[in-house]
Amino acid sequence: MQSVVYKQSATTATTNLLFHYFYLLDSSPELRHLRHLHARLLRTGLFSDTFLSTKLLLSYSRHGRLLPSSLRIFHLMPHRNCVTWSTLISELSKSADSHLCFRFFRQMRYADVPVDSFIIPPVLRSSQVICYNGLSQISDARKAFDEMTERDTVLWTSMLSGYAQSGNPELTFMFFKEMVRECIVLDAVVMVSLLLACAHLSQLNHGRSIHACAIRRTHGFPLALGNALIDMYVKCGAFGYARKIFDSMRYRDVISWTTLILGHGLNGNVHDVIRLFDEMCIEGVKPNSVTFLGVLSACGHAGLVDKAWEFLHRMRSLRLEPELKHYSCIADALGRSGRVVEAERFINQMPFKPDDATLRALLSFCRIHGDMETAKRVAKKLMVASLGKSGCYMSVANIYSDVGRYDESERVREYMKDINVVKLPGWSTI
């Protein structure tokens, strides 16, 4: 009897000690304090407890030490359970190294650790990030989704969002049909994903149907849904409907304004873009770098050099650092207005190395305005930057032909043959 009581009291003491250290880890105010706790766990042998070592892993991540501290702890843990894997994968999905999320997710599956409902959302979040960087990993998330025996509304919605944000509109609609068969409730989050797919395909009729559904099911559009509707109507060319949604929204953020500005800019409505930007500033909404990119792009396409310079200065006055694409818009405006030499000088002086697109645009302006000397200099840079690509060589050959220098045009074409650069034939889907 005494031995039973002793065992129970020992178990209680151990449990209390575990919870005590769990509380200390959870409330650790700084990294130095956390390291002291880490050392104490190693000295006392409590690091071998999966419950505490998992909490230590999470605490290091919360203090900005996911890599390498949390990862090192994971590898040194003598035992890992499903919670440990879920914690690491979830933290990796929120980091700049979200590609590691998939590496550990695969390792988890190879280790035959059961996949639960807490794993899928972070994996989907990572798949969206990676897809934006050109690596499609959404199929891994779908395999894990299909293997789960119990799937709630959150998982279905996360999977749909993953398809929509990774640029798979057809698969988005196919998956939505599965959701309908499973009687999943159509809420605002689902409608945002469907509107994104409609925008990708420019499916105005489908988009209007979702709009009608949103009117029936929601009382006043949530901000994300309103922005998605504006984006869909803008990309379908229905600017009147987009403006009506915009005007009906009780609250509009920088995304609302920027979406409308980008849409008008892509449609060539530079004066509407400038007017919207001024209205935005009057309402006290601070533009971001994407907003300025939309305005500068519109000014560039219209050849409004002075306006483009004005907006670049306004961007700097708001302590927003221009990027290469912002400077390229200035060069675009100069080139379109016929100031090709000035555009070349600006590109040479900007704090970024020009990319292929910027140089190709400048070369095309040289051809339009017949500036052969500038075209030669730009072509040399472009040939170095895009070695082996036929486009720059053909542009130079065409410029020579335009000014009647056919011998030099033919010489460029012969040089292409000598270095084995082949012009790709044109093709059409019609």
Please tell me the predicted confidence (pLDDT) of residue 7.
46
- Who's near 159: CB < 8 A, 6+ residues apart? 120, 124, 141, 142, 145, 175
Q: Find how far residue 2's CA is from the centre of its chain.
A: 64
Please tell me the predicted confidence (pLDDT) of residue 204.
92
Question: Whole-model pTM above 0.75?
Answer: no
- What are the residue ranges spanned by the domains of the chain? 1-79, 255-337, 343-430
Can you give the three-state secondary structure of 34-55, one letter per residue? Answer: HHHHHHHHHHHCHHHCHHHHHH
Cα distances (angstroms) measured from residue 423 to each of 226, 252, 405, 419: 46, 49, 20, 12
Hunting for tokens 């299909």 — which residue is that?
146
Please tell me the predicted confidence (pLDDT) of residue 195.
93
Angle of helix 82-93 versus helix 50-62 axis, rounded to 10: 10
Distance between CA atoms of residues 187 and 131, nearest Å: 25
Please tell me the predicted confidence (pLDDT) of residue 280.
94
Please tell me the predicted confidence (pLDDT) of residue 135.
38
Q: Closest Cα to residue 365, out of 400, 337, 403?
A: 337
- Taking phi over 0 as left and psi of -120 to 50 as alpha, with beta for the rest, 284 belongs to left
CA distance from start to end of the chain: 89
Please tell me the predicted confidence (pLDDT) of residue 371.
81
Please tell me the predicted confidence (pLDDT) of residue 11.
63
Please tell me the predicted confidence (pLDDT) of residue 132.
41
Q: Closest Cα to residue 359, out of 351, 340, 372?
A: 340
Distance between CA atoms of residues 246 and 256, nearest Å: 7
pLDDT values of the chain reduced to their tens digit, one per residue, 430 residues? 444 443 455 566 677 888 888 889 988 888 888 998 999 999 998 999 998 999 999 888 888 787 788 888 999 999 898 889 888 888 877 765 656 777 888 788 788 887 766 666 666 655 554 444 333 467 777 777 777 677 777 778 878 888 887 778 888 899 899 998 888 888 888 898 899 999 988 889 999 999 998 888 877 778 889 999 999 999 998 989 999 999 988 888 999 999 999 999 888 889 999 999 999 999 999 999 999 999 999 999 998 999 999 999 999 999 999 999 999 999 999 999 999 999 999 999 999 988 888 988 898 898 888 888 888 788 778 777 666 667 777 877 787 787 777 887 788 788 777 777 776 666 555 5
186 in Cβ contact with 213 (< 8 Å): yes
